[in-house]
Structure formats: C-alpha cells, structure tokens
Amino acid sequence: MSRVAYVNGVFQPHAEASVHIEDRGYQLADGVYEVWAVFDGKLADAQGHFERLDRSLAELRIDPPMSRAALKIALRETIRRNRVRDGLVYLQVTRGVARRDHAFPAPGTPPSVVITAKSVDRAAAEARAAKGASVITTPETRWARCDIKTVGLLPNVLAKQAAREAGAVEAWFVDDLGLVTEGASSNAWIIDREGRLRTRDTQANILRGITRKTLLEVIADAGLTLEERPFTVDEAKSAREAFITGAGTLVLPIVKVDNQVLGDGKPGPVAKRLRELYIQRARATAW
C-alpha cells in the first residue's frame, strides 16, 4: 500500500509530497515538531503531546495552524490513510514560506503543516527490547532551549550518528559538570546502586518528555522510589539498570554505557516491568 502525507491541508502521495524551497523549516530550522506513538490506530499520550506542541509554538511565537480538534482529525486521518495500527505519527509546524530573512515574515504568513505516519513492527521492537541496547556518551553541545521541541536537531543528528557508528542505539549528552542531560531523541534513566530510579529534573536544559511524564505516574502507582536528580557518567556505568524513554523507543532497557556492561548484560527486572506497565497504560489510554 502506498503511503500518503498531509501537507498544508492536502493528502499527497508520500513519494511526491513536498514543501516550498523557501519554507523556513527547510532554510532556518524555524519550526517545531511532535511525535506520537500509535497503538491500535490511536494516539498514545495524546493530551501531553498536544500541550507540549502548544507550548513549543507559543515559545517561538508561531501561530497555531488550526484548532486542536482539527489537528486531531488530520492526525487520525493520516494514520487511517496509511493503515497504521502500531507505529508513529509525526507532525511538523514551521513559520511558513517567505523570502529568506532571519527575522519573522509578515504577520499572517500561514504556518506550514506536514504530517506523516509509519508502521512499527511491535514484535520486532519487543525482541530488541528483550535483548537490551547500548548507549554512548558525548559532550553536550546543544543550545539553551532544549525544552522547546524544535526541528533544529543538528547536534542530535551528529550524536545519533556517532552512536550508530559505535553500534549503540542512543547517545547520552553529558554537560560540563559530567552529568547526563538526556539522549539525542530520548530521556535517560538509571536505577542506582541503592535501587533508586533516577532521571534528570526538568529544570535542566532537557526536553520534558511525555513518555517520561507518563512513566512518572506509572512509577508512583507501582510504589517505586524515584529521584528527579542528575547522575554522572560513572554512576550510569555502575548502575544496576538503565533505560531510555521516548515515543519511538517507549521504555527501552540499556545494558551497556560506553564500553561498560551493566550487571549481567541483560535488561534489568525494573526496566522490563516498566516497559510492560507503560505499554499497557499507553494502549489503554490512547485516543
């Protein structure tokens, strides 16, 4: 079945879908995005992603392209037309098309909206999660507004490529104090030697992950101890367990940090359990 993409109100064959060469997203990375996991054709953690989208747009003073209700219909329709049961839906909103100039275009320039959807093989993803994955660490080189989900992802691209070349799935950024901030496209977690769950607090320069947010509720319900507090690379290397969270990876156990194998090199019981609980909750609450 051929894929279709939503581009500014029109569904186009995916292979031919395009935006103008003077789109500010293309020329200046002047735009934001969101990614929802899709379960049974429905949006996971829908509300959280919509709220973060509104916030990202407001922080950049980009006009919301349409109402949330209309956006939801466009997202669902893109999912339906691509026959995605399990997968991801991607939304990008840029400041629109205008003659190149760093400052904002004339008021009223319509934002550009692109939506794509793709299927994910959940069985293959489960098999990967059952094995666990590796991360590498890399110096933090990003700007100071990582709380805004912008399409300006060059440091993340370079970090992810370094991970790929090292046979790892993710790169963890490490700040000047030697503390892990987050991954190139996920939030970073450990279970320290005292058995406490640890993840960086959102006062730090990180993206406020929606999967992270839902998992905090799962953790509270499960009665586990959590500290939203930074950890060093050494603490990560000597952790009992580690994992990453994000709409793409959900909750993915990590079994190696740089060249250090964690524990027995297999996903830990807490990370495995949290993956199950998160998926259960996300599936049950998707709409």
Catalytic amino acids? 149
Q: Based on CB atoms, which residue is closest to ligand PDD, 140 or 182?
A: 182
Quote the least distance from Cβ 182 to ligand PDD, whole Å: 5
Q: Based on CB atoms, which residue is closest to ligand PDD, 43 or 97?
A: 43
For the stretch 195-231, what's the b/e string if a residue is b when 16 or more beta carbons lie within 10 angstroms of its beta carbon? Answer: eebbbbeeeebbbbbbbbbbbeebbeeeeeebeeebb
Q: Which of 11, 15, 20 is nearest to 95 (CA)?
A: 20
d(CA 80, CA 47): 19
Quote the least distance from Cβ 157 to ligand PDD, whole Å: 10
Quote the least distance from Cβ 194 to ligand PDD, whole Å: 25
Q: What is the dihedral of CA 217, 223, 228, 232, to 10 degrees?
A: -130
DSSP letter at 62 equals P
Q: Based on CB atoms, which residue is closest to ligand PDD, 134 or 185?
A: 185
Sign for the pseudo-dihedral over CA of 34, 123, 224, 270: negative
Q: Based on CB atoms, which residue is closest to ligand PDD, 30 or 170?
A: 170
- For β-strands 133-139 and 170-174, DSSP reports them as parallel
89: Cβ contacts below 8 Å, ≥ 6 apart: 35, 36, 38, 43, 75, 78, 79, 115, 116, 117
Q: Based on CB atoms, which residue is closest to ligand PDD, 97 or 215?
A: 215
Secondary structure (3-state) at 24: helix
Quote the least distance from Cβ 152 to ligand PDD, whole Å: 11
d(CA 245, CA 278): 10
Residue 240: exposed, middle, or buried by beta-carbon count in 10 A (0-12, 13-18, 19+)?
A: middle
Unique residue bearing structure tokens 């839906």? 89
Quote the least distance from Cβ 185 to ligand PDD, whole Å: 4
Residues contributing to the site for ligand PDD (CB under 6 A): 35, 182, 185-187, 207, 209-212, 245-248
CA 75 to chain centre: 17
Q: Based on CB atoms, which residue is closest to ligand PDD, 98 or 148?
A: 148
